[in-house]
Amino acid sequence: MLDTHARKYVQPSIEHTSKWLTKRGLTPNQVTVIAFIIGISAGVLYGFGLPIIAVLALWLSGFLDAVDGTMARMTQPSGFGTVMDITFDRVVEISIILGIAYVHPEMLWPLLLLSVSIIFSMTIFLTVGAVSDKQGVKSFYYQAGLAERSEGFILFSIMMLFPSILLWSTLAFFFVELYTGLQRFMEAKRILS
Protein backbone atom coordinates (compact mmCIF):
# COMPACT_ATOMS: atom_id res chain seq x y z
CA MET A 1 0.00 0.00 0.00
CA LEU A 2 2.75 2.48 0.93
CA ASP A 3 4.88 1.46 -2.06
CA THR A 4 1.95 2.18 -4.35
CA HIS A 5 0.60 5.35 -2.76
CA ALA A 6 3.57 7.04 -1.05
CA ARG A 7 6.30 6.33 -3.63
CA LYS A 8 5.78 9.76 -5.23
CA TYR A 9 7.09 11.43 -2.05
CA VAL A 10 10.40 9.55 -1.99
CA GLN A 11 10.82 9.12 -5.75
CA PRO A 12 12.86 12.36 -6.16
CA SER A 13 15.54 11.08 -3.76
CA ILE A 14 15.45 7.65 -5.42
CA GLU A 15 15.91 9.25 -8.86
CA HIS A 16 18.72 11.51 -7.59
CA THR A 17 20.56 8.52 -6.12
CA SER A 18 19.94 6.48 -9.29
CA LYS A 19 21.50 9.18 -11.46
CA TRP A 20 24.42 9.61 -9.05
CA LEU A 21 25.20 5.85 -9.02
CA THR A 22 24.79 5.59 -12.81
CA LYS A 23 27.28 8.45 -13.32
CA ARG A 24 29.76 6.51 -11.19
CA GLY A 25 29.48 3.53 -13.51
CA LEU A 26 27.35 1.20 -11.42
CA THR A 27 24.78 -0.95 -13.16
CA PRO A 28 21.30 -1.74 -11.81
CA ASN A 29 22.34 -5.36 -11.22
CA GLN A 30 25.40 -4.28 -9.22
CA VAL A 31 23.19 -2.11 -7.01
CA THR A 32 20.82 -5.09 -6.62
CA VAL A 33 23.74 -7.18 -5.33
CA ILE A 34 24.86 -4.39 -2.97
CA ALA A 35 21.30 -4.06 -1.62
CA PHE A 36 21.16 -7.84 -1.19
CA ILE A 37 24.42 -8.01 0.79
CA ILE A 38 23.35 -5.14 3.06
CA GLY A 39 19.88 -6.72 3.45
CA ILE A 40 21.09 -10.16 4.50
CA SER A 41 23.56 -8.52 6.88
CA ALA A 42 20.52 -7.14 8.74
CA GLY A 43 19.56 -10.64 9.91
CA VAL A 44 23.16 -11.38 10.88
CA LEU A 45 23.47 -8.07 12.75
CA TYR A 46 20.28 -8.82 14.64
CA GLY A 47 21.65 -12.24 15.54
CA PHE A 48 24.75 -10.53 17.00
CA GLY A 49 22.57 -8.37 19.24
CA LEU A 50 22.64 -5.16 17.19
CA PRO A 51 18.96 -4.49 16.50
CA ILE A 52 19.26 -0.76 15.71
CA ILE A 53 22.07 -1.31 13.20
CA ALA A 54 20.11 -4.26 11.77
CA VAL A 55 17.06 -2.06 11.18
CA LEU A 56 19.21 0.64 9.57
CA ALA A 57 20.79 -1.96 7.27
CA LEU A 58 17.35 -3.31 6.37
CA TRP A 59 16.06 0.14 5.40
CA LEU A 60 19.23 1.01 3.47
CA SER A 61 18.86 -2.22 1.51
CA GLY A 62 15.22 -1.36 0.82
CA PHE A 63 16.16 2.11 -0.43
CA LEU A 64 18.81 0.65 -2.75
CA ASP A 65 16.26 -1.93 -3.88
CA ALA A 66 14.06 0.94 -5.09
CA VAL A 67 17.09 2.69 -6.62
CA ASP A 68 18.11 -0.33 -8.71
CA GLY A 69 14.67 -0.53 -10.31
CA THR A 70 14.73 3.16 -11.15
CA MET A 71 18.24 2.77 -12.60
CA ALA A 72 17.02 -0.13 -14.74
CA ARG A 73 14.09 1.89 -16.08
CA MET A 74 16.46 4.82 -16.83
CA THR A 75 18.90 2.57 -18.70
CA GLN A 76 18.09 -0.95 -19.89
CA PRO A 77 15.78 -3.19 -17.83
CA SER A 78 16.63 -6.88 -17.90
CA GLY A 79 14.55 -9.95 -17.19
CA PHE A 80 17.37 -11.43 -15.15
CA GLY A 81 17.55 -8.23 -13.10
CA THR A 82 13.88 -8.71 -12.22
CA VAL A 83 14.53 -12.33 -11.21
CA MET A 84 17.50 -11.28 -9.05
CA ASP A 85 15.50 -8.47 -7.46
CA ILE A 86 12.51 -10.60 -6.47
CA THR A 87 14.66 -13.55 -5.34
CA PHE A 88 17.00 -11.39 -3.28
CA ASP A 89 14.03 -9.64 -1.64
CA ARG A 90 12.78 -12.98 -0.34
CA VAL A 91 16.24 -14.04 0.86
CA VAL A 92 16.55 -10.76 2.80
CA GLU A 93 13.19 -11.48 4.46
CA ILE A 94 14.36 -15.02 5.29
CA SER A 95 17.55 -13.55 6.76
CA ILE A 96 15.52 -11.33 9.11
CA ILE A 97 13.25 -14.21 10.14
CA LEU A 98 16.26 -16.47 10.79
CA GLY A 99 18.01 -13.74 12.78
CA ILE A 100 14.93 -13.28 14.94
CA ALA A 101 14.52 -17.05 15.34
CA TYR A 102 18.17 -17.33 16.43
CA VAL A 103 17.74 -14.68 19.14
CA HIS A 104 14.22 -15.81 20.13
CA PRO A 105 13.97 -19.60 19.59
CA GLU A 106 10.72 -19.63 21.56
CA MET A 107 9.19 -17.78 18.57
CA LEU A 108 9.75 -20.58 16.05
CA TRP A 109 6.06 -21.40 15.51
CA PRO A 110 4.87 -17.80 15.05
CA LEU A 111 7.83 -17.13 12.72
CA LEU A 112 7.01 -20.29 10.78
CA LEU A 113 3.41 -19.07 10.40
CA LEU A 114 4.72 -15.70 9.19
CA SER A 115 6.95 -17.45 6.65
CA VAL A 116 4.00 -19.48 5.36
CA SER A 117 1.90 -16.32 4.94
CA ILE A 118 4.71 -14.61 3.00
CA ILE A 119 5.06 -17.66 0.73
CA PHE A 120 1.27 -17.71 0.18
CA SER A 121 1.07 -14.01 -0.66
CA MET A 122 4.17 -14.04 -2.89
CA THR A 123 3.03 -17.14 -4.77
CA ILE A 124 -0.18 -15.38 -5.77
CA PHE A 125 1.69 -12.13 -6.54
CA LEU A 126 4.22 -13.85 -8.80
CA THR A 127 1.71 -16.13 -10.50
CA VAL A 128 -0.62 -13.25 -11.34
CA GLY A 129 2.36 -11.25 -12.60
CA ALA A 130 3.36 -14.15 -14.85
CA VAL A 131 -0.05 -14.92 -16.35
CA SER A 132 -1.56 -11.44 -16.55
CA ASP A 133 -1.67 -9.55 -19.84
CA LYS A 134 -1.48 -6.30 -17.88
CA GLN A 135 1.90 -4.66 -17.41
CA GLY A 136 2.96 -1.65 -15.41
CA VAL A 137 6.20 0.28 -15.01
CA LYS A 138 7.86 -2.87 -13.72
CA SER A 139 8.62 -5.76 -16.06
CA PHE A 140 5.51 -7.62 -14.88
CA TYR A 141 2.03 -6.82 -13.57
CA TYR A 142 2.49 -5.47 -10.04
CA GLN A 143 -0.40 -6.34 -7.74
CA ALA A 144 -0.75 -3.73 -5.04
CA GLY A 145 -1.96 -4.90 -1.66
CA LEU A 146 -2.23 -4.07 2.02
CA ALA A 147 1.30 -5.38 2.67
CA GLU A 148 3.95 -4.33 0.21
CA ARG A 149 7.68 -4.04 0.87
CA SER A 150 7.47 -0.92 3.06
CA GLU A 151 4.82 -2.41 5.34
CA GLY A 152 6.97 -5.52 5.68
CA PHE A 153 9.96 -3.40 6.63
CA ILE A 154 7.92 -1.49 9.20
CA LEU A 155 6.69 -4.73 10.76
CA PHE A 156 10.16 -6.32 10.69
CA SER A 157 11.52 -3.16 12.34
CA ILE A 158 8.93 -3.36 15.11
CA MET A 159 9.73 -7.05 15.59
CA MET A 160 13.46 -6.34 15.93
CA LEU A 161 13.25 -3.17 18.03
CA PHE A 162 10.50 -4.20 20.46
CA PRO A 163 11.12 -7.79 21.58
CA SER A 164 8.62 -7.43 24.44
CA ILE A 165 5.79 -7.45 21.87
CA LEU A 166 7.47 -9.83 19.42
CA LEU A 167 4.70 -12.42 19.57
CA TRP A 168 2.00 -9.83 18.83
CA SER A 169 3.93 -8.04 16.10
CA THR A 170 4.74 -11.37 14.44
CA LEU A 171 1.09 -12.44 14.57
CA ALA A 172 0.01 -9.02 13.25
CA PHE A 173 2.46 -9.42 10.36
CA PHE A 174 1.10 -12.93 9.72
CA PHE A 175 -2.49 -11.65 9.50
CA VAL A 176 -1.51 -8.67 7.32
CA GLU A 177 0.30 -11.01 4.89
CA LEU A 178 -2.58 -13.49 4.92
CA TYR A 179 -5.07 -10.70 4.20
CA THR A 180 -2.84 -9.41 1.40
CA GLY A 181 -2.67 -12.87 -0.14
CA LEU A 182 -6.44 -13.23 -0.05
CA GLN A 183 -6.83 -9.68 -1.42
CA ARG A 184 -4.52 -10.53 -4.34
CA PHE A 185 -6.31 -13.85 -4.89
CA MET A 186 -9.67 -12.10 -5.21
CA GLU A 187 -8.20 -9.52 -7.58
CA ALA A 188 -6.71 -12.36 -9.64
CA LYS A 189 -10.14 -13.96 -9.89
CA ARG A 190 -11.55 -10.65 -11.14
CA ILE A 191 -8.88 -9.81 -13.70
CA LEU A 192 -8.10 -13.32 -14.97
CA SER A 193 -11.62 -14.81 -15.24
Taking only the tens place, the pLDDT of each residue in 79-101 is 899 899 999 999 999 999 999 99
Most confident range (mean pLDDT) of 60-64, 81-85, 121-125, 189-193 is: 60-64
Q: In degrees rounded to 5, what are phi and psi of residue 109? A: -65, -45
pLDDT at 68 over 90: yes
Predicted confidence (pLDDT) per residue in 183-193, tens digit: 989 988 888 87
- Spatial contact of 141 and 132, defined as CB atoms under 8 Å apart: yes
pTM: 0.90
Q: Which CATH number do you get for residue 133?
A: 1.20.120.1760
pLDDT at 138 over 60: no
Calculate what percentage of the chain has a pLDDT beyond 90: 69
Cα 115 to Cα 19, 26, 30, 176: the distances in Å are 35, 33, 28, 12
Number of domains in the chain: 1
For 96-107, what is the mean pLDDT?
Answer: 98
Q: Which domain holds residue 62?
A: 2-192
Query: What share of residues in the chain are helix, strand, coil (percent, to 5)?
Result: 85, 0, 15
